[in-house]
């Protein structure tokens, strides 16, 4: 069974990791996508993604149809399309060796079939990224999916773990 968390101790260049990881997190907090009418965020996001994500990145906990950078990119672009006012706030960022970790909150509104914003969602999660050669080579994502589905009323609110 694949590990949910990184299973090896952090090693490597902490300064390189800090630079790449902070660049990645700052973009998400500042510019993904924030303005529902501005589609130019996609080009900026694609450029950043090609810069900081390795083509063969190994993904854990990310629901993608294809592996690697392309699958992750398509997933995140789709997320931005379906939640065009998505705003991420990082509460905690830690970097040690070649590993960056972040705890975050996203506030967003689902775009309805009629093209209008419909259902507000607040999601919490964490992600871990292993950095090598100036790029993310491995990514772990932990998201409170049950709470998200409850907010969308896909799952009954009384369902618990």
Angstrom distance (rounded) from CA 21 to CA 96:
11
CATH number of the domain located at residue range(s) 14-151 in this protein: 3.10.450.50
pLDDT digits (tens, 9 = 90+) for 102-156: 999 999 999 988 888 899 999 999 999 999 999 999 999 999 988 989 999 898 8
Token couple for 95: 């970097």
Token couple for 11: 């090693």
pLDDT digits (tens, 9 = 90+) for 52-99: 999 999 999 998 999 999 999 999 999 988 988 889 999 999 999 999
Domain positions in the chain are 14-151
DSSP category for residue 155: S
- Report pTM: 0.86
Name the band, by pLDDT with cuts 50, 70 and 90, for residue 6. Answer: low
């Amino acid at each position: 069974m694949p590990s949910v968390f990184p299973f090896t101790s952090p090693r490597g260049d902490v300064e390189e990791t800090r630079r790449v990881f902070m660049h990645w997190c700052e973009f998400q907090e500042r510019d993904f996508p924030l303005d529902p009418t501005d589609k130019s965020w996609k080009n900026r996001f694609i450029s950043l993604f090609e810069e900081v994500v390795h083509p063969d990145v190994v993904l854990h906990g990310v629901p993608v149809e294809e592996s690697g950078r392309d699958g992750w990119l398509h997933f995140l672009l789709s997320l931005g399309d379906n939640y065009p006012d998505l705003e991420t706030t990082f509460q905690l960022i830690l970097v040690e060796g070649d590993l960056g970790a972040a705890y975050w909150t996203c506030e967003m509104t689902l775009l309805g079939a009629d093209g209008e914003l419909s259902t507000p969602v607040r999601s919490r999660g964490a992600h871990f990224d292993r950095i090598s050669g100036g790029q993310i080579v491995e990514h772990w994502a932990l998201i409170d999916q049950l709470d998200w589905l409850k907010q969308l009323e896909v799952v009954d609110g009384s369902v618990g773990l």
